[in-house]
């Protein structure tokens, strides 16, 4: 009985700790809440590996979320928010960098590699299927007419080879 009471008490205490970690933002409008989620998903945490500020639990992401909340409540547009965050944290925080001369590889190299890979797979599969067709026709038995035609071709080839050899010997 005492064990059950102790386990129940510990479970209740741990639930309180889990609830204390939840951030609550009091948005002035539903639109700002939706923009917060959207913009927060497009901003990368500077400390975390490949996480947005919405997904990260790092102190820097927490500070960025606080700043994002403040900017949205002050009426900043999405573009103004991005410009502010880039000025403060650098280009790295943008999940979708703009297409410029120094970022064009980020945008165009992956699709080019995917197309090249698909083309390579297609060509290899085609070559393999063509090779399989040749082997299949070579392995099947010849019909009597095909056999006769093939024998004639071989005889003609031998005659032309022997006549070439005879002409070389007589010279």
**CATH number, domain at 88?**
1.10.8.640
Domain that holds residue 67: 23-93
Domain membership of residue 17 (yes or no) is no
Tell me: pLDDT of 81 over 60.
yes
Domain membership of residue 75 (yes or no) is yes
Task: Give tens-digit pLDDT for 119-154.
Answer: 999 999 988 887 766 555 556 788 888 889 988 999
Tell me: pLDDT of 159 over 80.
yes
Question: Is the same domain home to 145 and 88?
Answer: no
Residue 118: the pLDDT is: 96
Residue 140 dihedral angles phi and psi, to the nearest 5°: -80, 150
Domain membership of residue 41 (yes or no) is yes
Number of H helices, E strands in the chain: 6, 0
Domain membership of residue 71 (yes or no) is yes
Domain membership of residue 106 (yes or no) is no
Residue 94: the pLDDT is: 86
**Three-state secondary structure call for residue 43:** strand
Tell me: pLDDT of 171 over 60.
no
Question: Is the same domain home to 27 and 87?
Answer: yes
Domain membership of residue 7 (yes or no) is no
Residue at a domain's end among 76, 93, 110:
93
Across all residues in the chain, what is the average pLDDT? 83
Residues forming a β-bridge with 64: none
CA contacts within 13 A on the Cβ side of 43: 32
Residue 119: the pLDDT is: 96
Cα(64)–Cα(45) distance, integer angstroms? 8
**Domains in the chain: how many in total?**
2
Q: Are 68 and 77 in contact (CB under 8 A)?
A: no
Q: How far is CA 66 from the centre of its chain?
A: 31
Task: Give tens-digit pLDDT for 4-33.
Answer: 887 887 777 777 655 545 677 878 889 999
% pLDDT > 90, the chain: 30
Cα(62)–Cα(40) distance, integer angstroms? 11
Q: Are 72 and 81 in contact (CB under 8 A)?
A: yes
Domain membership of residue 116 (yes or no) is no
Residue at a domain's end among 66, 93, 120:
93
Residue 91: the pLDDT is: 84
Domain membership of residue 38 (yes or no) is yes
Query: Mean per-residue pLDDT for 48-64?
Result: 88
């Amino acid at each position: 009985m005492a064990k059950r009471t102790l386990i129940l008490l510990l479970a209740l205490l741990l639930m309180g700790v889990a609830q204390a970690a939840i951030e609550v933002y009091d948005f002035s409008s539903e639109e700002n809440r939706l923009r917060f989620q959207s913009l927060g998903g497009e901003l990368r945490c500077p400390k975390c590996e490949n996480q947005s500020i919405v997904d990260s639990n790092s102190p820097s992401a927490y500070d960025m979320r606080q700043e994002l909340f403040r900017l949205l409540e002050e009426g900043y547009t999405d573009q103004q928010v991005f410009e502010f965050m880039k000025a403060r944290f650098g280009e790295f925080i943008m999940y979708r960098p703009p297409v410029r001369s120094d970022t064009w590889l980020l945008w165009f190299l992956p699709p080019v590699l995917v197309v090249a890979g698909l083309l390579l797979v297609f060509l290899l599969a085609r070559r393999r299927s063509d090779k399989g067709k040749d082997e299949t026709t070579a392995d099947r038995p010849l019909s009597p007419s095909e056999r006769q035609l093939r024998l004639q071709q071989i005889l003609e080839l031998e005659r032309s080879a022997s006549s070439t050899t005879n002409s070389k010997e007589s010279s």
